[in-house]
């Protein structure tokens, strides 16, 4: 066994033993054409899906009569006069969201009670009939303007279920009513980034047929940059729980034909589909409090709980939409703001600096040869998804080795794929060199836009990242290592479960020939 004192002599051997290294050197010449990028592997995200995913976190704002009646699902019969937020300040909402790392805000323009936070011309059950702003107010307009001011995207939730509208239950009339209101929202308030809707109603409500396909076509026509969230897409899907816990396997690939709003198999929604023909990225929803609307009796979750949620949502290829409900004064409560600020400070402490930013990175191969800087392994320590390492074609192994220059303590690994080229990685693992042997510290089954793996603290100089299975030649845009001083070392969020791929052999996969696996530390 080689000791650490002679490891520098063995590094080339260790690298070559884990790969089929391309050692051919191209002649240096400015006239040599650049090697083109590999073919993208379908399906691919649209421009709006790509922009949405890179936002990572959105703030949901549940606000309405329920805020004043201490309810979650309003009856639809509350007097509009109950809506009277004396100090409503949507600029405060937007300022809090922007300062704590959210990319866009989504407002409950109409919840299940049917009360509209804008003066809809299709109903009197709206802010127009309330004493707030003497009936001249428009919460949607105020927040849209505030979001624009603070550089945030803006989204709306328009509940399909309406417990107030008399025509609810008459499918043709209600669908016309709903699309009339949707048109108001999508043509009066500027650019909309996300349209959020679900498949409620409750089980005892009137039978109702929602013409979802017509809705989706209209939304995309009026707001072509918007993504539509529902249980089953078409652009963004629900992961099946309101705890923001995604599957440790999480594909953005999906078959919309295999899903239906209100009737999608839970495991399918949670994990996606490696054989999927559509790109329907996952979104995790959760509230900072127990309920979705503000209640004086409830307290916010702790910053540590939000950090755990971040690992199980954003850290598993999802966008996190965190509900932060304004209170009955019309403000985000001080205690909620404090939690968000602490959560933000924790994320900054962990992720503000990649401990591998000065690493020397080598690879088992490089597309176009070692002189092709466009696909260099060093690209993986540059932030962002638009530069990436690409291996040479037809390789048996796909390996990156990071030489950190000295022993560094860390317990978090971040990996990203350039998803504009498709989601590719099926299985991977990371190991470290200890006492002359590679020992696994973490493994996973998908990466996607972002994967965060938390494991017991290690202190090493050399880290190896190995793609074990992939839908095509894998592409890695970013590798980061970080130190999390807050999470307990036994909290193995990413290694507690590893999904089986019993039927994965039908894909065009290539497995690593390296059999020197050992148990996870």
What 8-state DSSP symbol labels residue 316? B
Angle at 285 between CA 283 and CA 289, to 5 degrees: 160
Position 199 scores a pLDDT of 75
Identify which of 163, 67, 60 has the alpha carbon closest to the alpha carbon of residue 104.
Answer: 60
Could you give the C-alpha distances from 302 to 107, 310, 338, 422, 468, in angstroms and in order?
Answer: 23, 13, 10, 36, 37
Angle at 445 between CA 502 and CA 492, to 5 degrees: 120
> Is residue 64 within 8 Å of residue 108, measured between CB atoms?
yes
Burial of 380 (0-12, 13-18, 19+ CB in 10 A): buried
- DSSP readout, 103-156? SEEEEEEE-TT--BSS--TT-SSBGGGSSGGGGT--HHHHHHHHHHHTT-EEEE
Strands 236-238 and 281-287: parallel
What gap in Å lies between CA 350 and CA 233, rounded to an integer? 33
What gap in Å lies between CA 96 and CA 181, rounded to an integer? 29
Position 33 scores a pLDDT of 86
Position 488 scores a pLDDT of 85
> Is residue 72 within 8 Å of residue 162, measured between CB atoms?
no
Burial of 252 (0-12, 13-18, 19+ CB in 10 A): buried
Strand, coil or helix: 406? strand
Position 489 scores a pLDDT of 56
> Please, what is the end-to-end C-alpha distance for the chain in angstroms?
19
Strand, coil or helix: 285? strand
- Model pTM score: 0.89
Position 123 scores a pLDDT of 98
Please report, in tens digits, the pLDDT of each residue of the chain (521 residues total).
Answer: 343 333 333 443 344 344 434 433 444 446 678 999 999 999 999 999 999 999 999 999 999 999 999 999 999 999 999 999 999 999 999 999 999 999 999 999 999 999 999 999 999 999 999 999 999 999 999 999 999 999 999 999 999 999 999 999 999 999 999 999 999 999 999 999 999 998 766 665 778 899 999 999 999 999 999 999 999 999 999 999 999 999 999 999 999 999 998 888 999 999 999 999 999 999 999 999 999 999 999 999 999 999 999 999 999 999 999 999 999 999 999 999 999 999 999 999 999 999 999 999 999 999 999 989 999 999 999 999 999 999 999 999 999 999 999 999 999 999 999 999 999 999 999 999 999 999 999 999 999 999 999 999 999 999 999 999 999 999 999 999 999 999 985 444 333 332 322 232 223 322 332 322 222 33
What gap in Å lies between CA 267 and CA 240, rounded to an integer? 8
């Amino acid at each position: 066994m080689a000791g650490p004192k002679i490891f520098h002599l063995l590094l080339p051997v260790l690298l070559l033993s884990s790969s089929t290294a391309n050692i051919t050197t191209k002649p240096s010449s400015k006239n040599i054409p650049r090697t083109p990028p590999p073919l993208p592997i379908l399906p691919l995200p649209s421009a709006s899906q790509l922009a949405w995913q890179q936002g990572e976190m959105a703030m949901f704002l549940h606000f309405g009569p329920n805020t004043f009646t201490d309810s979650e699902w309003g009856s639809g019969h509350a007097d509009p006069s109950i809506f009277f937020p004396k100090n409503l300040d949507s600029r405060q909402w937007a300022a809090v969201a922007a300062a704590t790392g959210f990319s866009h805000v989504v407002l409950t323009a109409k919840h299940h009670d049917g009360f509209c936070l804008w003066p809809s011309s299709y109903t009197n059950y709206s802010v127009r009939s309330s004493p707030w702003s003497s009936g001249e107010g428009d919460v949607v307009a105020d927040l849209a303007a505030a979001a624009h001011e603070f550089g945030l995207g803006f989204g709306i939730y328009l509940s399909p279920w309406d417990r107030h509208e008399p025509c609810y239950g008459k499918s043709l009339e209600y669908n016309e009513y709903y699309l009339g209101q949707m048109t108001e929202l999508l043509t009066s308030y500027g650019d909309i980034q996300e349209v959020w809707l679900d498949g409620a109603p409750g089980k005892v409500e009137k039978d109702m047929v929602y013409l979802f396909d017509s809705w989706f076509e209209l939304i995309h026509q009026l707001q072509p940059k918007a993504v539509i969230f529902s249980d089953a897409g078409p652009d963004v899907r629900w992961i099946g729980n309101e705890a923001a816990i995604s599957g440790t396997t999480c594909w953005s690939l999906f078959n919309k034909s295999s899903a239906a709003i209100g009737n999608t198999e839970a495991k399918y929604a949670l994990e996606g589909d490696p054989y999927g023909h559509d790109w329907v990225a996952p979104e995790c929803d959760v509230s900072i409090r127990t309920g979705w609307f503000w209640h004086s009796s409830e307290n916010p979750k702790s910053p540590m709980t939000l950090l755990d949620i971040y690992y199980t949502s954003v850290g598993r290829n999802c966008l996190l939409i965190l509900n932060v409900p304004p209170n009955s004064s019309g403000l985000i409560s001080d205690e909620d703001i404090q939690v968000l600020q602490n959560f933000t400070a924790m994320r900054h402490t962990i992720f503000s600096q990649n401990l591998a930013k000065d690493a020397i990175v080598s690879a088992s191969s490089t597309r176009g040869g070692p002189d092709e800087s466009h696909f260099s392994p060093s690209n993986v320590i540059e932030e962002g998804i638009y530069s990436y390492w690409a291996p040479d074609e037809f390789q048996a192994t796909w390996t990156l080795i990071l030489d950190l220059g000295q022993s560094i303590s860390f317990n978090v690994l971040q990996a990203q794929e350039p998803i504009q080229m498709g989601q590719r990685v099926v299985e991977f693992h990371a190991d470290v060199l200890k006492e002359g042997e590679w020992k696994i510290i973490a493994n996973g089954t998908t990466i996607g836009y972002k994967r965060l793996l938390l494991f017991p603290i290690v202190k090493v100089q050399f880290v190896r990242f190995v793609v074990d299975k992939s839908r095509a030649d894998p592409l890695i845009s970013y590798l980061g290592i970080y130190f999390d001083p807050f999470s307990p070392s036994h909290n193995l969020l990413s290694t507690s479960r590893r999904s089986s791929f019993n039927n994965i052999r039908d894909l065009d996969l290539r497995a690593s020939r390296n059999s020197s696996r050992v148990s996870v530390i």
